[in-house]
Structure 1
Amino acid sequence: MTEPWTPGDGGAEAKRYAPATQRNREAIAAVLADWLPASGMVLEVASGSGEHIVHFAAVFRHLGWQPSDPDRDALTSIAAWSAEADLANIAPPLRLDAAAADWPVDRADAILCVNMVHISPWAATAGLFAGAAHVLPTGAPLILYGPYLEPGVATAESNRAFDAGLRARDPEWGLRDLGLVASAAAEAGFGFAERRTMPANNLMLLFRKS
């Protein structure tokens, strides 16, 4: 197991900022209030800057929160945000690559993944479902947030432009077809439970371990 970064690593200057976090965190939290379990530990995969998890940990203090990310600088930022928040229900961040066969987590009661699926190779999404299948108990939620392409649903022009920009940066990135995502989830043993529309042409998707 990779040793986690501790909250003391990196000062305030190590914090990263993601402007979209301030805009979407309240809307995401409103849906999480309906979908998260009453108790237990929530593993966030691809925590990025760490801004989301400190907000959610403050809102849902009855839950433990485990941040993770594959990027060292992101882990340092998460630790800096966590240290500033000084919340007892945030664990030190772990280095976790969603695409890896082995995760440094044995069990979680819920998994949250925000804005990773379109900014990573498809292997990360397939690995997310495979890894979640190993750590979540039956009935537990796997929650995704981000933009998706939906069969039969017109794609907003802003999302088309965003998709083109992502693919120009990396051909393995891009908005995913919701049908393909649901199929990958089913192959890993997850049922597609609910879809909610969100501001700025995003979706929240709820899968449950079968």
Structure 2
Amino acid sequence: MSQLPFSQACENNKAPILEVLRHSFASVNRVLEIGSGTGQHGVYFSAALPHINWQCSDMGNLSPLNARLALEGQGRLSKALALDVTGPWPALEVDGIFSANTLHIMDKGSVECFFAGAGRVLGATGQLCIYGPFNYGGDYTSASNRDFDAWLKARDSASGIRDIEWILQLADAAGFALIQDHAMPANNRLLHLTKVSQDSQG
């Protein structure tokens, strides 16, 4: 196990995220995780939420992710799917989508594709939970987030912490309504959105 990729951030945030997901995903049966990374979240949440069939995915290099799912998943997790939000999405029947620390890594076009794809995959009453840092009113919520954003942009100028107002505009266009914006440790947030039927929108 020591040879598997490891994220300390996942270890730090998995318990607080779980407390939100217990409520947000209480009635959800099948979740697609976008950007599963090391697989630590998938292993932890699938064990803690046994009513959910948790499907991991990532853009590429699935071998180490699948190695963790096989080693630590206790048979609960199938192999991760290759999913690039800008390309065709796998044909799936899910009623929940989860993603952590991905939107600030993506460029803006990919963020737009993320919401468009989620809107297509999730039907009415589908639940979408997104964890990560966001800006409010065009400003950072902390000095550490300002420093993190500078680090992101130095590494990739197309990345960066996104404005919550823009995120909610994209969500609305894809048919989602914000249920709750949860404050989380380390200046992060967890957005719980639900798919709204066309009748409700009209």
Normalising by structure 1, report the TM-score.
Answer: 0.89
Q: Could you say which residue in structure 1 is the equivalent of 2:82?
A: 95
User: Once the 2 structures are TM-superposed, how far is the Cα of residue 14 of structure 1 from its aligned partner?
Assistant: 5.6
Alignment pair present for 1:43 and 2:32: yes
* Counterpart among 130, 134, 138 of residue 144 in structure 1: 130
Correspondence for 2:14:
25
Alpha-carbon distance in structure 2 between the residues aligned to 1:86 and 1:27: 20
What's the counterpart of residue 83 of structure 1? 70
1:193 partner amino acid? I
Contact 2:134/2:140 (CA < 8 Å) preserved in 1? no
Q: Deviations over 1:34-75 (max 9, x none)?
A: 100434211000101111110001101111010000021xx2
For structure 1, list consecutive stretches of 5 or more residues without a partner in the other structure.
Answer: 1-11
1:133 counterpart residue number: 119
One-letter amino acid matched to 1:179: E
Q: Output the aligned Cα RMSD.
A: 1.5
Superposed CA offset, 1:106-144 (max 9, x none):
221100000000011112221111111111110111110
- Paired residues, number: 196
1:106 aligned to 2:106?
no
Distance 1:17 1:154, change over 3 A: closer
Over the matched positions of the two proteins, sequence identity in percent amounts to: 35
Please tell me the residue identity of whatever aligns with 1:164: A
Report the AA paired with residue 112 of structure 2: A
- Partner amino acid for 1:44? E
Residue in structure 2 matched with residue 57 of structure 1 by the alignment? 46
- Give, in whole Å, the separation in 1 of the partners of 2:187 and 2:112: 23
Equivalent of 2:159 in 169, 173, 176: 173
Residue 189 (str. 1) matches residue 178 (str. 2):
no
